[in-house]
Structure 1
């Protein structure tokens, strides 16, 4: 059964009972095991990564700063090493005992926090509409490369195919706890160059953390006041191509219906990221997103099905120069390099200051 007009869809099927939720929980144990394993693995990897860096920095600091100062302190106030060895052993033992307990508690809390009602509602809607519902899908995006997971992915037979889900941006999660944004993708019939439209109105206090920036030389200006709503990027030499796709009526549609969204055309897909997470389990919200997906599919296919890249020697393909936008190093790397260099300089100066004491 294909997804017809939203007026013909019975969105009341999203209203699931407690019995439906319990049945979904019982019939989908693999979901729970999959998510639990994934979260536990991520936690251990994060702890190992942070712990390794902390240990290396601590050993470097101990070897270059603490040991000389300790020698000076012991020579002045001889109290012996016994109490210090006991204190270090006590702290290490407490950490070894608390770490497994903490991981167990975090895992149990994650299990209890699973939104089974939302999952049951979306799974039921997918089965009713002839689509599928996948709890967790790892996808490597070439442009939003830090967007590494699409959760609660709803695949629907709209046009050539449409996907609706929740996108997770881990870097932003670490910084603010707010990294989930609703994801929408529709499939195209013809490969297109890499075009990106970014919404300047969205809060960008941490934009540099979770997105790889494009080279500013690729930013172009389209007609009218479109630049007030989107920052437009196209590969060098593809200005005419993006104007072929984004006609005035398509640009007006983007302004009216995708204000605040980030839009990307790449390969055989048109992808969009909402400014925040949308509650797809709510009938009115899901109805509006499905209507948006249908309209996007119609507009994008109509504007791209006859597109031809004159630079490509193969029909239906895009030349290498237009397949991907060029990236520049994000500010975070430069800031991290500066902090690291400053830290080593500070430690080196401390070594020079305390060397006469030893």
Structure 2
């Protein structure tokens, strides 16, 4: 087997946090949302992640209604000491009503959710436990307080939040230290910079960008999700990836392709390098979690950590997000952007 160059490491959430590869792995697509999965290939991709030093493995109880956590269980059993395991709670779904999406942050739900995740994952402790979405009706003192109890009980090591604003991050951090903030952040999605990134930098919170490849659109793998992707792929219903929006947004990839050619790289690698360099731009730790189900893509993604874009290249990419047509989701009420003042 060809040897793989391992990526660098950073501390998640400061010097007391766990050491992780500077790029993590998002497991969501293995179980849902992106069409059918070859499970053998997906397991080989997880092995490739460890070979490359990609040690932060990210899942959630909502992915596949628990199936994603169950899929990871054998991998974790074999490699528990090598993996920093992150999972999330708060998005409530029902097997008998696939359209239902609720958000639960109340303490009773927090405790029920963690017990179910521990069981499905087959572990005694979750390294990083995120609140996946915030219910503003539940005070942070209650929801984050309940999460803090899990730390004291040894069921969770570190706490994270997903899709919160800067003021919300500061409020939660005052209740219990927050190690990581997970939000969408890419060349196409920069609303996290409005307030959350600055707060994370001030507090020493690591930012964990999800969908750093714009759900694959930034790779150039498809031009119109409704026409180009297989059935069951949720991107066919995302405003940015279909119809006139997709046509307009595809044109925004031209500078990405140009810079990729100059580096002998792929557009995906340039998009990831841009996200990675947000660390130096904003003065904080950044660990993006691109997802894939193929070993070759995993290794390609990891290699992006060794690309440094010039100031001129960064300047050329700077306007892209402001030109993107369409929202990140059909319903933006589930995101922090809906609560920004």
TM-score, normalised with respect to structure 2: 0.31
Larger Rg: 1
Considering fraction of residues, name the structure with more helix. Answer: 1
